Amino acid sequence: MDTPVIKKKLGLKDRYAAMTRELAWDTTYQPMDKVFPYDKYEGIKIHDWDKWEDPFRLTMDAYWKYQGEKEKKLYAVIEAFAQNNGQLGITDARYVNALKLFLTGVTPLEYYAYRGFAHAGRQFTGAGARVACQMQSIDELRHYQTETHALSHYNKYFNGLHSPQHMFDRVWYLSVPKSFFEDAYTGGPFEFLTAVSFSFEYVLTNLLFVPFMSGAAHNGDMSTVTFGFSAQSDESRHMTLGIECIKFMLEQDPDNVPIVQRWIDKWFWRGYRLLSIVAMMQDYMLPKRVMSWRESWEMYVEENGEALFRDLARYGIRKPKGWIQACEGKDHISHQTFAVFYNYNAAAAIHTWVPKEEEMDWLSEKYPETFDQLYKPRWDYWREQANKGNRFYQKTLPMLCQTCQIPMIFTEPGDATKIAYRESDYLGNKYHCCSDHCKEIFDNEPEKYVQSWLPPQQIYQGHCFKPDVDPTKEGFDPLLAVLDYYNMNVGRDNFDFDGSEDQKNFAAWRGDFTQGAQK
Amino acid sequence: MSVVALKPYSFPAKDVRENFPAPLFFFGWEDHLMFGAPIALPLPPDTPFGAVGPTVLSSAYGYHPDFARIDWSKVEWLKSGQPWSPDSVKSLAENGLKHKDVLRFRTPGLSGLNGSCN
């Protein structure tokens, strides 16, 4: 193919074509199928890559310019936040624990996304799809960096933020986001885009960014708000890529429909389970609340999702299988998740607490059918016991779901007093899941999930101690050895917020700060 | 169904019995959701079943005011969700328990804080 002669000044459309698709060529020394081996084995049939509508309409030079401007603004805000001791302006030091979870649980996913999109950006045969993925790949790397920079400021003042990458690869609750993304990027490029661009970013991500970032604003954390909205401005492009990829696959061949449907079923559920952590942040960890998890689920998923799946029905796509159960879960999962963190707070690098009286009133009001009846009694008891100096810490390791890797905290559809247990046999071994949908994901690809690195199992197999540890030595404390392996500072990073160093420091600083302001 | 892959896809399972010093068992106390999740415990196969409830489980569940009131002779067990009657004198292995079995137990008359399943 000859390169077209470039006129001095190109129109937007020509310029876009010249700077993206026309940079690609069909290989002749090697067959195209050998150069692009990854985008066929999943079974997705593509007949005409030219039908791919480029969702971004951005060329690399324009991309650098826009992103450069965003970065400048972002770093100016972060710098000002640091200069002005912005961390003193947050509502309450409890809030920082949501940031700790974000930095250790979500930020590393941005890095995984960068790698995943770099892979897809190499492997699609169609140049339009490749360029879109390459740009998103760079976006994700940017998010990883800006989040790290924004949050590293908090590391100077609060505990538990010192080792995010090390913890991500080891700590029990972080295996939930980690395994989610490893599952996604070990799929083929089409499954990866369905998982991340469509199911997560298009259908679910608003739940992460909009209410959580408004939560940050409500709680005086301008640094997080700024990286949130800087990332969110890329997110709209990512969502467009997600929906474009889905429509492209569905339009190219009817045989693609059942494959795409199975991926949507799987990844909607995987994403929904992952967001349990966001649910608890929203309902329990923001001292000043914006809206309840239930309200944001209704607004961002139920309403938008209904419209989306009505639109996709013309291709033969229906709502994800777990839809009804996920909607039922809106009344429960934030309570169940925060409660399990409260149970296992000896082994978590965040603080938890019993909600204050007015916070419990808020929960009763927002969850009229469930909170008082099902969840308040345990908080009342825990508070009563904590006041007597008998704060509850569960020290026996939990049973996890083989697929989502969350402790088995979720209850039966229609009966929130019964834990849901599901079981599969595979090659003579038993595997346990938290729900019909996680079980179905397991049953569809058991060879994949038998490899799950489940933290309790790994601890019991003796894989979670530092190399020089001798478990046969007298007085060996396995829990402390595991926390040491996590790089946790016992007594500073873990346990209840009440009595924590974070709490004491913040109170002291704020006292000084207020006095200074009065002078 | 199975994994769709470019090349043969076969990797060892992580949690087979041989990888543990003792078989792993899971326990869940029905109607006591103050304990957020069932628990995982490796137990020697020659442990007498009768020791499991009052001895082994007390470190995990002893915090609950109901725990001390349990009459272990009246406890109803479920194995893989089905009613199951163990012989408390026999060992775990003699009771047919295997690696990664799930045992749930109901304590009649005790259903959590003020009967709230907590």
* Domain parsing of chain A, residue ranges: 51-467+475-518
3-state class of A125 per DSSP? coil
Top pLDDT among B105 and A57 is at B105
> If you average pLDDT over residues A182-196, what whole number do you get?
97
In a domain, B44, yes or no: yes
> If you average pLDDT over residues A49-65, what whole number do you get?
85
**Inter-chain contact B104–A421, Cβ cutoff 8 Å?**
yes
Kindly list the distances between the CA atom of residue A311 and the CA atoms of A261, A264, A272, A301, A481, in Å, as whole numbers in the listed order: 14, 15, 21, 15, 53
Q: Tell me the whole-structure pTM to 2 decimals.
A: 0.95
In a domain, B94, yes or no: yes
In a domain, B9, yes or no: no
Is-contact A99 A220, C-beta < 8 A? no
- pLDDT on residue A20: 85
Kindly list the distances between the CA atom of residue A486 and the CA atoms of A178, A338, A396, A491, in Å, as whole numbers in the listed order: 15, 21, 17, 14
| Closest approach of A373 to chain B, Cα-based (Å) | 7
In a domain, B106, yes or no: yes
Phi and psi for A450 in degrees, rounded to 5? -70, -15
In a domain, B1, yes or no: no
Is-contact A285 A276, C-beta < 8 A? no
User: Over the stretch A467-477, which tens digit does the pLDDT of each residue have?
Assistant: 999 888 999 99
In a domain, B13, yes or no: no
In a domain, B62, yes or no: yes
**Does the structure show a pLDDT above 60 at A517?**
no
pLDDT band at A519 (very low <50, low <70, confident <90, very high): very low
Q: Is B42 on the interface with A (CB under 8 A)?
A: yes
3-state class of A476 per DSSP? coil
Which CATH number characterizes residue B74's domain? 3.10.20.560
**How far apart are alpha carbons A13 and A107 in whole angstroms?**
35
- pLDDT on residue B2: 85
**Inter-chain contact A429–B13, Cβ cutoff 8 Å?**
yes
CATH number of A51-467+475-518: 1.10.620.20
For residue B31, list chain A residues with Cβ-Cβ distance below 8 A. 417
> If you average pLDDT over residues A275-279, what whole number do you get?
94
In a domain, B11, yes or no: no
Residue span of the structural domain in which B52 resides: 18-115
Angle formed at CA A55 by CA A296 and CA A45, multiple of 5 degrees: 100
Q: Is A456 on the interface with B (CB under 8 A)?
A: yes
Q: A60-83 vs A127-155: helix axis angle to the nearest 10?
A: 10
> If you average pLDDT over residues B77-99, what whole number do you get?
97
**How far apart are alpha carbons B106 and B78 in whole angstroms?**
8
Is-contact A370 B33, C-beta < 8 A? no
> Which segments within A162-320 are labelled E, that is strand?
none
Using CB atoms within 10 Å of the CB of residue A72, give its burial: 0 to 12 exposed, 13 to 18 middle, 19+ buried.
exposed
- pLDDT on residue A514: 54
**Does the structure show a pLDDT above 70 at A513?**
no
User: Over the stretch A405-427, which tens digit does the pLDDT of each residue have?
Assistant: 999 999 999 999 999 999 999 99
> If you average pLDDT over residues A214-236, what whole number do you get?
87
For residue B16, list chain A residues with Cβ-Cβ distance below 8 A. 429
User: Over the stretch A121-145, which tens digit does the pLDDT of each residue have?
Assistant: 999 999 999 999 999 999 999 999 9
Please name the member of B19, B34, B100 whose beta carbon is closest to the beta carbon of A461. Answer: B19
Please name the member of A378, A419, A427 whose beta carbon is closest to the beta carbon of B34. Answer: A378
In chain B, the number of structural domains is 1
- pLDDT on residue A91: 93
| Closest approach of A253 to chain B, Cα-based (Å) | 19
